[in-house]
């Protein structure tokens, strides 16, 4: 049977996907600043020209990679909701997933490099902010769904909790990079788990002082 040929759009999409996947490997290996367009193209098996046929710059490619990571995060959490039918199972699985994200230290370095670059470029900073808002909405929507389906009371709005979880993760990520204290390294996952437990109500329905009933759509 003859292999079906890809259309031009399908071929272009496949090339973009390969370049994004290759870029992630190169960034992890040498960092964002040190990575070159030539290295990324070679890793994907393409020429420099193929890179610029799909992306205007390394910055644009990195933003696409960030969006891919956000989509993967949503897929991970959607899988938890799909596979864990009860509130307790979802709570435990989401808590463990959040705690284990602390292992991605290399990715924290790459994001920090790019964030510093964005501080000096207004247009880039604006696009990065848009992606961050989308990530925030991903977390907020899933928290909203968790509270609603579990019939739980939330201590704060899902958006506030989402911001707190993201800020905790980023702060601990930076601390683990700047300090070589082995005790801190061993405690990062435990600290993240503690933060999750304090910010997200458990299925037992216990709420911190000042908690209020959750209302659908309240942000």
Q: Which domains does the chain have, with CATH numbers?
A: 1-55 (1.10.10.60), 64-213 (1.10.357.10)
* Per-residue model confidence (pLDDT) at position 189: 81
Q: Of the candidates 13, 115, 140, 121, which has an alpha carbon nearest to the alpha carbon of residue 68?
A: 13
Provide the sign of the torsion angle of the four alpha carbons 195, 201, 207, 210, taken in this order: positive
* CA pair distance 18, 68, nearest whole angstrom: 12
Give the contacts of 56 (CB within 8 A, at least 6 positions apart). none
Count CA within 13 A, CB hemisphere, residue 78.
7
pTM: 0.78
The DSSP secondary-structure symbol of 27 reads H
* Per-residue model confidence (pLDDT) at position 216: 43
* Per-residue model confidence (pLDDT) at position 180: 60
In percent, how much of the chain has pLDDT > 70? 85
* CA pair distance 213, 152, nearest whole angstrom: 7
Residue with tokens 């290996």: 29
* Per-residue model confidence (pLDDT) at position 69: 87
* DSSP secondary structure, 67-105, as one string: HHHHHHHHHHHHHHHHH--SHHHHHHHHHHHHHHGGG-H
Residues of the chain with pLDDT under 70: 1-4, 6, 102-105, 179-186, 205-219
* Per-residue model confidence (pLDDT) at position 104: 66
């Amino acid at each position: 049977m003859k292999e079906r040929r890809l259309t031009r759009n399908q071929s272009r999409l496949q090339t973009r996907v390969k370049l994004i996947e290759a870029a992630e490997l190169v960034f992890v290996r040498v960092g964002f600043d040190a990575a070159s367009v030539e290295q990324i193209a070679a890793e994907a098996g393409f020429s420099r020209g193929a890179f610029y046929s799909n992306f205007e710059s390394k910055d644009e490619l990195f933003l696409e990679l960030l969006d891919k990571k956000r989509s993967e995060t949503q897929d991970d959490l959607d899988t938890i909701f799909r596979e864990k039918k009860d509130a307790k199972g979802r709570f435990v699985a989401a808590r463990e997933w959040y705690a284990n994200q602390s292992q991605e230290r290399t990715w924290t370095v790459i994001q920090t490099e790019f964030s510093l670059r964005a501080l000096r470029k207004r247009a880039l900073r604006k696009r990065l902010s848009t992606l961050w808002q989308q990530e925030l909405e991903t977390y907020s929507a899933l928290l909203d769904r968790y509270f609603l389906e579990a019939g739980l009371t939330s201590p704060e709005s899902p958006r506030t909790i989402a911001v707190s979880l993201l800020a905790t993760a980023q702060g601990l990520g930076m601390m683990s990079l700047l300090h070589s204290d082995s005790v801190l390294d061993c405690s990062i996952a435990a600290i993240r788990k503690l933060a999750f437990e304090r910010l997200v109500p458990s299925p037992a329905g216990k709420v911190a002082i000042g908690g209020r009933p959750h209302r659908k759509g309240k942000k």
